[in-house]
Structure 1
Amino acid sequence: MIHLIDALRIVGFAALLASVPVAGYAQSAAADSYKPGRTPDGQPDLQGIWSNAVITPLERPADLADKEFLSEEEAIEYERRRQEETNMDRRSTDAAADVRNAYNDFWWDFGENIAVTRRTSLVIHPRDGRIPALTDEGQRRSDARAERRRLHPSDGPEDRTLADRCINWGSAGPPMMPTAYNNNFQLVQTADHVLILNEMIHDARIVPLDRRPHLQTDVRQWLGSSRGHWDGDTLVIETTNFTGQTNFRGASENMHLTERFTRVADDVLLYEFTVDDPDAFVESWTVQIPARKTEDLMYEYACHEGNQSMIGILGGARAEEQAAARSSD
């Protein structure tokens, strides 16, 4: 498989950008001649605040099954349609759906543009743009989790998702994914560490670069055990030691995640990750997201405002149980 970075060096990043009408991405030098600035320690400078807000879907839609890239005209029309579909100011005749929208469009940040590459999905491998099927064991685990949620949705806080409990939001990662808002992340470098600060649930990952080994296999963490190194101008981070509750897209606790960060222009950071988990997927899969430099600030994410929402969730579940018991009498 050819990484997009290699493809960009072949065709020239400036030529690619010149053919793509996406606002916010400055046309810069070709990737084969672009060299990022250096930190005082001599490392490629990836620092700053970046946004991965993009309306390109993770997986290729069924109606684009055989189409890997959009034309310029198709990209413009797709962006227009997606902006209409994600506009939260639209009202619904379904009262329940109207309530579920919760906030008006001001509070959301789905992004306005597709990926600068005009790909029809963020998944670039397999070539069909779809996440591979789960293995038999992976499907069994997924079904068991779904059944557990059905039978015990809110017995206690431990039954709720990690996002509900403000422990980890799947989009914050690792790996990092675009979501409905809080799509900013900040990179800070020192000589022997990289800090990745996510705006979503203010997760901060401190990644050592000194080639130390991962944690022993019986130590499991919400964000896994991350270790980084440089491959030329690309920062490579490998993460293991996840918990079974993380289960990114159905992954097991044995997921091996490889992330790659490459600055291909002053204002474009190419983020790529590969999920390798034979216990869950029939093959590995890779996602690429061009993030753009932003002058926006990082804001605190005050999840649950003191966790008061959990009280409401569990209290509501008890009320539903009592109502069901009364109706059965």
Structure 2
Amino acid sequence: MIRKTIFALAAASLALPATAQQVPDDLTTMPDVPDDYTPSRTPWGDPDFRGSWPLNDIAELPVNRPAQYGDRFWKTEEEIAAEQGRVEQLEEAYESEDEEGTIGLGHWIEYQAGSRRTSMIVSAQDGQLPDLTPEGKRRAALMRASWITGQTFDWVTDFDSWDRCITRGFPASMFPFRYNNGIRIFQSPGNVTIMLEMLGTRIIPVSGEGEPWPEGVDGWFGNSRGRWIDDNTLEVVTTNIKPGASALNVATRGVPSGNTLPMSEEVTVTERFHMVGPDTITYEMEYSDPIVWEDDFTLRANWSRDDDYEFYEYACHEGNVQVRNYITADRTKRQQEYERGAMVEPIDPDAGPPPAMDPASRGAQQRNSEETE
């Protein structure tokens, strides 16, 4: 489903909500989230976060900080001005497509200038995800996805949960993609419901009570338990997350390739939804998984209210012929390689990709060498 996402052009001089981007004089520092705004209340007395908060305006904000920014959390005004020219060129291209009736990818992916942040990561200082542990690397090597270069496909288990239209995973689903970025918050006494435009809905008890699920019981979005703190902040702690999906999604900018960031049964995600103004939520996510990552890390981004935003059906599973096509095409390719004599010895299944039938693997090279001796 083509979703036209309209990104407002926002250079540094344009008016933004006062709470949206507080840029310090020292661009290598990250101020604390402001806590001086008091939101309105629901009829039952909870802070009122209800509304639509699409992530379109942070879709270009990367998770990992690009090297050009060094240790800066913030861009300079000159860097923002340079981005404006890029967006103007793209807007001209969109207008030409509209006039000529030749719409291609122009309105599928639209860009924004104006975000002063250099990355979503606010901890660590270098703006980079921490290294994986040896166990994390082992688990990553065993993951399967259509995003892995050189992988073969024999069955549905060779695809990840997003390929199969099941879920983008958690917390990956709370960060932007290129389209279907809608997030809508509903509230009722004792519960906050977060509806995602792409694959999923979260129902979060906010009574501050309740025990976590027993060990061995899990779910794609895990067991979330929330509480209200500081009058303007919802804190949500999530455990019992089902391993399998990538912790962060490859389609979010600045996430490593492959869609193979594993998680263990010990992962804990702590989210804080800070309402810092009538139309701004600062979303903060602390991630801890000592089995997989060398250190914890924290991501932060501002959400902007847009109650005119409309959800579009994410028609992923219906007519999803790609899984079958990948398998059919890959088997045909390997059969052709076999007929040319590039038979491959199986490799250790724990070694991860490239899998056994990749003709470029060492097994093929060794077999061909032995046959020519």
Shorter-chain TM-score category?
A: 0.7 to 0.9
Structure 1 residue 150, shift from structure 2 partner: 7.3
Counterpart residue number, 1:5: none
Counterpart residue number, 1:310: 323
Counterpart residue number, 2:350: none
Counterpart residue number, 1:207: 204
Structure showing greater radius of gyration is 2
Structure 1 residue 73, shift from structure 2 partner: 2.4
Q: Deviations over 1:225-250 (max 9, x none)?
A: 11111112211111111222124142
With 300-309 and 30-39 compared, the bigger mean Cα shift is at 30-39
User: What secondary structure is seen at the aligned counterpart in 2 of 1:158?
Assistant: helix
Q: Deviations over 1:149-183 (max 9, x none)?
A: 6786321112101110001125x745511221122
| 5+ residue gaps, structure 2 | 1-10, 23-33, 95-102, 249-260, 343-373
For residues 217-232 of structure 1, what are the structure 2 equivalents within 5 Å?
217-232=215-230
Kindly indicate which of the two structures has a greater share of residues assigned to helix. 1
Structure 1 residue 309, shift from structure 2 partner: 2.9
How high is the TM-score relative to the length of structure 2? 0.70
- CA distance in structure 2 between the aligned counterparts of 1:70 and 1:159, rounded to whole angstroms: 40
What is the one-letter code of the residue matched to 2:46?
Answer: Q
Given the superposition, is the C-alpha separation of residues 247 and 107 from structure 1 closer, same or farther in structure 2, using an over 3 Å criterion?
closer
For residues 71-220 of structure 1, what are the structure 2 equivalents within 5 Å?
71-78=76-83, 80-81=85-86, 104-109=105-110, 111-115=111-115, 118-145=116-143, 153-170=152-169, 173-174=171-172, 176-201=174-199, 203-210=200-207, 211-220=209-218
Contact 2:133 2:292 in 1 (8 A): yes
- CA distance in structure 2 between the aligned counterparts of 1:264 and 1:192, rounded to whole angstroms: 22
Contact 1:121 1:129 in 2 (8 A): yes
Counterpart residue number, 2:74: 69
Structure 1 residue 22, shift from structure 2 partner: 5.4
- CA distance in structure 2 between the aligned counterparts of 1:300 and 1:34, rounded to whole angstroms: 35
Alignment RMSD, CA only? 3.2
For residues 230-245 of structure 1, what are the structure 2 equivalents within 5 Å?
230-232=228-230, 233-245=232-244
Structure 1 residue 85, shift from structure 2 partner: 9.2
Residues 1:322 and 2:321 are matched in the alignment: no
- CA distance in structure 2 between the aligned counterparts of 1:323 and 1:86, rounded to whole angstroms: 45
- CA distance in structure 1 between the aligned counterparts of 2:88 and 2:301, rounded to whole angstroms: 19
Given the superposition, is the C-alpha separation of residues 135 and 84 from structure 1 closer, same or farther in structure 2, using an over 3 Å criterion?
farther
What is the one-letter code of the residue matched to 1:228?
Answer: G
What is the one-letter code of the residue matched to 1:104?
Answer: L
What is the one-letter code of the residue matched to 2:337?
Answer: A
Residues 1:34 and 2:37 are matched in the alignment: yes
- Counting matched residue pairs gives 294
Structure 1 residue 38, shift from structure 2 partner: 0.9
- CA distance in structure 2 between the aligned counterparts of 1:88 and 1:166, rounded to whole angstroms: 32
Contact 1:83 1:112 in 2 (8 A): no
User: What secondary structure is seen at the aligned counterpart in 2 of 1:143?
Assistant: helix
With 301-310 and 253-262 compared, the bigger mean Cα shift is at 301-310
Residues 1:299 and 2:299 are matched in the alignment: no
Given the superposition, is the C-alpha separation of residues 86 and 130 from structure 1 closer, same or farther in structure 2, using an over 3 Å criterion?
farther
Contact 2:69 2:75 in 1 (8 A): no
Counterpart residue number, 1:50: 53
| 5+ residue gaps, structure 1 | 1-18, 90-101
- Report sequence identity in percent: 31
What is the one-letter code of the residue matched to 1:40?
Answer: P
What is the one-letter code of the residue matched to 1:46?
Answer: F
What is the one-letter code of the residue matched to 1:320?
Answer: K
Given the superposition, is the C-alpha separation of residues 28 and 130 from structure 1 closer, same or farther in structure 2, using an over 3 Å criterion?
closer
